[in-house]
C-alpha cells in the first residue's frame, strides 16, 4: 500500500488510515474540551462583578416542601423606587394561605410572596433623593419580600430608628400596622374597655395586646395552652384555650354577661358568629383573616368549603367588609396600597411608640432561606409565639 505523507497526515489514495482517524478525533475532542472549559471560565469571570439575587419561589400550590430557591439577575430600581439589600424578611399567615393556593390577592404562580423586609438601601432610582443611600430601612413589599434584594417605591419605606435591628424592623410593618388599624383606627378602643383578641400569641395578637394595654384596656386572649404563661406575663388578664373550651361561654363568665367592646378575629368561619355574640352594646367586631381555612398542609377544598359555608352570610358579608376596610368592620392591610400616606402616618406613630418602649416586637424564631419550608411548618404547627422571620 502507498502512503502520501505530509506532516501528521497519512493518506492512501482513496481513504484515511484508521489510526489517523483516531488521532484527529482525539485532537477534535481535546479542542472541544478546551473551548467549553474556556467558555465556562469566561462566564464565571464575567459573573464575578455581577451580583445575582436569591429569591424563594412558590412554583405551584403545595405543602411547605414546595418552595424553590432560584437565582436571578439583580434588579434595578425604576423611577421612584429604591433598592434594598434585605437583612430580614417577615413571614405572614397570608404567605401560608398563598402557598396553599387559597389567597385571593396572590398573583398567578409561580410567585414570590412576602409583604415586608428590613435592610439597607444600596441604590436609588431616578427622581429619588440620594440622601436615602445607605439608609437602614424597613419596608412594605407588595409580594416579592422573600428575596435577598428588593426594589420598592420610596413611599413604602421608613428609616429605622437608631439601634433598631433589621430583625425587629422586619417584625413591625404588617403585624403592628394591622393591629394599629384594628385597635386604634377602626376599633376605637379606649381606657377601661375590654378587648378579646384571638390567636393572641401570634404576631398580630401580641401587637394588638401591647397597643390595647398601652391605652388602658383589659385584654382577654385565646391561644393554645402552651402560650398562656407568656401571654399572662405580657399583661393578658384571661387566657382561653379555645380548642378545649367554648370561648363564647368563657367571655360571658369573665365579663359577667356584659360582653366586650372589641373583638379581633382572624380565625373566620363560625368563629365570626361566636365573636359577634361576645360583643357588649356598642361593641365592634374586627374581622381580618380566615386562619381556619388553613387546617391542612396542602390545599383542602373540603375545609375551605366548610369554613366558607359557616360564615355569617345572612348577617353581613365578611369578605366584602374585610376587602373594603369599612366599618362593622373588616381590615385588609394588603388593600391599602393607594393609602400609603395614611399608612406612613400610622407607621410613624408606631415608631414613636417603639421609642417609648410600648411597641416591643417578640421574635419567635428566625430561619435561613433554605429553611423556609420548616418556617411554614413551624407556624402551621402553632409553635410560634410572636413573629417568624427569614434571613438571607
**Could you list the residues that contact ligand NAP (CB under 6 A)?**
92-94, 174-175, 178, 199, 201-205, 223-224, 227, 266-267, 288-289, 291-292, 294-295, 331-334, 379-380, 382, 384
**195 neighbors 216 (Cβ within 8 angstroms):** no
Q: Which is nearer to ligand NAP, 102 or 189 (CB)?
A: 102
Grid cell 482513496 — which residue?
Answer: 14
Q: Which is nearer to ligand NAP, 91 or 112 (CB)?
A: 91
Distance CA 218, CA 239 (A): 12
Q: Which is nearer to ligand NAP, 91 or 135 (CB)?
A: 91
Q: Which is nearer to ligand NAP, 153 or 289 (CB)?
A: 289
CB of 162 vs ligand NAP, minimal distance in Å: 27
Reduced to 3 states (helix: H, G, I; strand: E, B; else coil), residue 169 is helix
Q: Tell me 184's DSSP state.
A: I
CB of 87 vs ligand NAP, minimal distance in Å: 20
CB of 41 vs ligand NAP, minimal distance in Å: 46
Q: Which is nearer to ligand NAP, 262 or 266 (CB)?
A: 266
Instruction: Mention every residue, 6+ apart, whose C-beta is less than 8 A from residue 352.
Output: none
Distance CA 268, CA 253 (A): 23
CB of 170 vs ligand NAP, minimal distance in Å: 13
Distance CA 259, CA 248 (A): 9
CB of 320 vs ligand NAP, minimal distance in Å: 13
Strand partners, 367: 390
Q: Which is nearer to ligand NAP, 81 or 265 (CB)?
A: 265
The residue count for the chain: 392
Instruction: Mention every residue, 6+ apart, whose C-beta is less than 8 A from residue 313.
Output: none
Query: 4-6 and 9-11 as β-strands: parallel, antiparallel, unpaired?
Result: antiparallel
CB of 139 vs ligand NAP, minimal distance in Å: 16
Amino acid at each position: 500500500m502507498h502512503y502520501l505523507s505530509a506532516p501528521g497526515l497519512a493518506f492512501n489514495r482513496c481513504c484515511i488510515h484508521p489510526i489517523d482517524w483516531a488521532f484527529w478525533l482525539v485532537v477534535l475532542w481535546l479542542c472541544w474540551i478546551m473551548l467549553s472549559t474556556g467558555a465556562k471560565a469566561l462566564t464565571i469571570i464575567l459573573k464575578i462583578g455581577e451580583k445575582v439575587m436569591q429569591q424563594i419561589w412558590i412554583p405551584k400550590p403545595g405543602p411547605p416542601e414546595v418552595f424553590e430557591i432560584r437565582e436571578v439577575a439583580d434588579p434595578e430600581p425604576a423611577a421612584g423606587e429604591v433598592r434594598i439589600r434585605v437583612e430580614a424578611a417577615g413571614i405572614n399567615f397570608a404567605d401560608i394561605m398563598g402557598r396553599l393556593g387559597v389567597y385571593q390577592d396572590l398573583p398567578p404562580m409561580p410567585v414570590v410572596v412576602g409583604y415586608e423586609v428590613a435592610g439597607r438601601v444600596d441604590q436609588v432610582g431616578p427622581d429619588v433623593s440620594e440622601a436615602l443611600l445607605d439608609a437602614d430601612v424597613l419596608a412594605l413589599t407588595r409580594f416579592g419580600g422573600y428575596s435577598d434584594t428588593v426594589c420598592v417605591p420610596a413611599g413604602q419605606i421608613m428609616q429605622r430608628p437608631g439601634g433598631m435591628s433589621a430583625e425587629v424592623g422586619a417584625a413591625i410593618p404588617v403585624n403592628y400596622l394591622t393591629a394599629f388599624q384594628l385597635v386604634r383606627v377602626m376599633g376605637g378602643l379606649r381606657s377601661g374597655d375590654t378587648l378579646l383578641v384571638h390567636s393572641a400569641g401570634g404576631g398580630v395578637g401580641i401587637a394588638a395586646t401591647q397597643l390595647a394595654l398601652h391605652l388602658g384596656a383589659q385584654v382577654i386572649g385565646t391561644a393554645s395552652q402552651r402560650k398562656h404563661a407568656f401571654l399572662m406575663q405580657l399583661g393578658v388578664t384571661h387566657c382561653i384555650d379555645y380548642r378545649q373550651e367554648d370561648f363564647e361561654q368563657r367571655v360571658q363568665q369573665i365579663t359577667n354577661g356584659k360582653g366586650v367592646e372589641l373583638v379581633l378575629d382572624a380565625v373566620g368561619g363560625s368563629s365570626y358568629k361566636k365573636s359577634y355574640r361576645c360583643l357588649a352594646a356598642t361593641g365592634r367586631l374586627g374581622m381580618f383573616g380566615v386562619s381556619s381555612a388553613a387546617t391542612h398542609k396542602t390545599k383542602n377544598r373540603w375545609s375551605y368549603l366548610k369554613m366558607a359555608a359557616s360564615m355569617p352570610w345572612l348577617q353581613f358579608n365578611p369578605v366584602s367588609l374585610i376587602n373594603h376596610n369599612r366599618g362593622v368592620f373588616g381590615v385588609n392591610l394588603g388593600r391599602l396600597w393607594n393609602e400609603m400616606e395614611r399608612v406612613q402616618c400610622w407607621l410613624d406613630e408606631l415608631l414613636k411608640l417603639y421609642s417609648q418602649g410600648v411597641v416591643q416586637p417578640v421574635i419567635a424564631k428566625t430561619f435561613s432561606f433554605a429553611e423556609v419550608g420548616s418556617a411554614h411548618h413551624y407556624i402551621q404547627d402553632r409553635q410560634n409565639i410572636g413573629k417568624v422571620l427569614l434571613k438571607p
